Structure 1
Amino acid sequence: MHRSKPMSQQTPLYPYHVEAGAKMVDFAGWMMPVSYGSQLQEHHQVRQHVGMFDVCHMGHVQVSGPQATAYLQFLLCNDVAKLREAGQAIYTGMLNSSGGVIDDLIVYRDDEQHYHVVVNAANREGDVQWMQDRAQDFEGVTVTLDPQLGMIAVQGPEAQQRVAELFAGVELEALKTFRSIIIEGGRIARTGYTGEDGFELIFPAQTIITLWTRLQAMQVPPIGLGARDTLRLEAGLNLYGSDMDHKIDPLACGMGWTVAWEPTTRMFLGRDYLELLRESGGSSQQRVGLILTDKGVLRAGQPVLFHGRPSGHVTSGTWSPTLEQGIAMARVDASIEIGQMVDVVIRNRSMPARVVGLPFVRHGQVVYKAS
């Protein structure tokens, strides 16, 4: 019996994308704009000026209760006890007992009994179920997906100026990275996914529509998922499902810095496995950057060879508008060092690439480490 494919969901901003002539594609079950014309121009617009992204497909989870802090300390590999003030945020992985990354997410602290968690679109239902199941051991803790919230990311060197115009009277200059302010029923966070300065505006759907149209009137152009991907790859930022998943531990995918080993008395999901891994010398694989030395484009899944032997594969690849070269993130043998040469198999042909340290680009500047 033939089963019809579930219809893609639409964000509150879907009509505005269509009106703007965006090319729409299904992404994680949502109809999203991949570009509004030139992906290359959209990329440079964010690197050099400012652009806005519809990220209303992300999931917003409220965690509340007298044991909310203890619960999140158990659930996540980073330690929410680092968050001392309201509005502070932390990036972390949520691991299974085998150390695999179920999702990577951002946690905002409101107070010791209330947290706001932003999860990836593709994982939102599964994440919430996982979180609710583990909350049963923490009396009074509730985990609730809030479908009424949406999010706009305003990114680029001119982002602060534009967001300040949008919220007159709100002091943004002193707002540090991974901090947020709660105002008018929503949240302004200094976070993003591009490697540029920027803000993520988390508000109810109707307010999101108003903010989008006001930003349009301020000549802030919309940017599609295509440019978002090249921007985040240049910035060395992982994409869930490509650069890591539930079978990949954080030490193998460049997320080792998110694992809070101290205090040693804090037990979190996956810790036992990661401790064994660390005691045995660490993961057998590592995440590195690759720069193709010849013309070509690197793509996910392409094999990586070191001295002619299989050594890993590309997890995310693209042509970099900033470097004007083929770049990639790859998971390769841990013995390979920065500056060494490898070969990437592209259409049955071995192409030389240099191993570099990530990120490739930050704040519009090329910053990768070549040795």
Structure 2
Amino acid sequence: MSRQTPLHAAHIAAGARMVDFAGWDMPVNYGSQIEEHHAVRRDAGMFDVSHMLALDLEGPDATTWLRGLLANDIAKLKEHGKALYSCMLNPDGGVIDDLIVYYFSPTSFRIVVNAGTADKDVAWMRQRIAATAANVTLEARRDLAMIAVQGPNAREKTWAALPQVRAASENLKPFSAVAVDDLLVARTGYTGEDGFEIALPANRAEAIWNALLAAGVAPCALGARDTLRLEAGMNLYGQDMDEGVSPLDAGLAWTVDLKDEARDFVGRAALVAKPATRAVLGLILEDKGVLRAHMPVFTAHGEGETTSGSFSPSLEKSIAFARLPHGVETDATVEVDIRGRRLKARTVKLPFVRNGKALV
């Protein structure tokens, strides 16, 4: 049986269509996925992301241990609440998960991992703690819910619903978080728009969701979240990367920090030994059809494959990410095999859309 978030009853009451997602009963839409998508691009929408797992890492060895665990270097984090996006790799350089780390002090961090990989992630982290004899504790915070409020008017509408957070969050920089009473308000997201991701006690989730609803924030679900992150050029674990794919081949080389030669993180040796063999570009379909994942792409430099694809409500065209041979440049014409037909597409630099504006 699928697990339920603290907002499950609110989704049912709102008439959401529910589906199983990574073992959780989650809303896929509340009626119109397109309208939800546009609400985020043009105004403000909110998502229940309580299925994701927050982990609190504490202890004298927290900084050293994280520097050995992650491909990105958390030594960059100096300010309280500052966040970092990173991949967590296996020894072969494959991606176990992509995650966000929030810095509170050299001995205190919060890590937010994906729902579908949460159990695997925790098991791997505990294994690494034991293997390194690190003096740290790792606590899974299933007592928390998380709500993402995204869009050009997201912050103003959050402050209307939760006026107590305005003073602390008004000058909050992107990719930073601040604690306000029992809430953690982070200026992060997965849509390519501004806004907040709010971690809060599970028993307060429905009241805060309803307050945001009353402030004019539209409830949005998994369907819109996927088209928004696709337009924004943001990877989805399990589609755009997994344990068999290096971050260097998944368009995530920018998250791999090799500057400190003395820092040996899990997977480093494998990445150094095997540089990137693929480049990730966006595709815009020029013929009629819909791009999906795992479609062959034919280029002048060899064959590639789409990893994520869908119809873009903002561009009103079909778009995709494609893992292509090196040498393929932007604005090149390629062909995609869609049900046995080779249809023309154009390569573009990611992202497609950011902050409400088309970039291609």
TM over 0.5: yes
For residues 143 and 288 of structure 1, what CA distance do their matches in structure 2 show?
Answer: 37
Matched, 1:178 2:170: no
Matches within 5 A, 1:60-71: 60-71=54-65
| Partner residue, 1:334 | 326
The one-letter code of the counterpart of 1:266 is R
Post-superposition offset of 1:19: 0.6
**Normalising to structure 2: TM-score of the pair?**
0.97
**8 A contact 1:67–1:138 mirrored in 2:** no
| Partner residue, 2:134 | 139
**8 A contact 1:71–1:138 mirrored in 2:** no
Matches within 5 A, 1:1-371: 7-136=1-130, 137-169=132-164, 170-171=166-167, 172-277=169-274, 282-307=275-300, 311-368=303-360
Bigger mean CA offset, 19-28 vs 206-215: 206-215
Post-superposition offset of 1:209: 1.8
Bigger mean CA offset, 15-24 vs 131-140: 131-140
For residues 218 and 135 of structure 2, what CA distance do their matches in structure 1 show?
Answer: 44
- Percent same amino acid at aligned positions? 50
Deviations along 1:115-154, one digit per CA (max 9) or x if unpaired, are 1000000000100000011012143211221111110000
Q: 2:26 is paired with a residue of what secondary structure?
A: strand
The one-letter code of the counterpart of 2:18 is M
For residues 284 and 134 of structure 2, what CA distance do their matches in structure 1 show?
Answer: 50
Post-superposition offset of 1:215: 0.8
Deviations along 1:53-82, one digit per CA (max 9) or x if unpaired, are 000000111111100000000000011111
**8 A contact 2:101–2:109 mirrored in 1:** yes
**Normalising to structure 1: TM-score of the pair?**
0.94
The one-letter code of the counterpart of 1:77 is A
**8 A contact 1:93–1:250 mirrored in 2:** yes
The one-letter code of the counterpart of 2:276 is S
**8 A contact 2:88–2:98 mirrored in 1:** yes
Any unmatched runs of 5+ in structure 2? none
Q: 1:10 is paired with a residue of what secondary structure?
A: coil
**8 A contact 2:85–2:99 mirrored in 1:** yes
For residues 350 and 310 of structure 1, what CA distance do their matches in structure 2 show?
Answer: 15
Q: 2:102 is paired with a residue of what secondary structure?
A: strand
**8 A contact 1:303–1:310 mirrored in 2:** no
**8 A contact 2:287–2:343 mirrored in 1:** yes
Q: 1:9 is paired with a residue of what secondary structure?
A: coil
Q: 1:126 is paired with a residue of what secondary structure?
A: helix
The one-letter code of the counterpart of 1:91 is Y
For residues 207 and 15 of structure 1, what CA distance do their matches in structure 2 show?
Answer: 13
For residues 166 and 88 of structure 1, what CA distance do their matches in structure 2 show?
Answer: 24
**8 A contact 2:4–2:24 mirrored in 1:** yes
Post-superposition offset of 1:109: 0.8
**8 A contact 2:65–2:134 mirrored in 1:** no
Task: Report how many aligned residue pairs link the two structures.
Answer: 357
For residues 106 and 277 of structure 2, what CA distance do their matches in structure 1 show?
Answer: 38
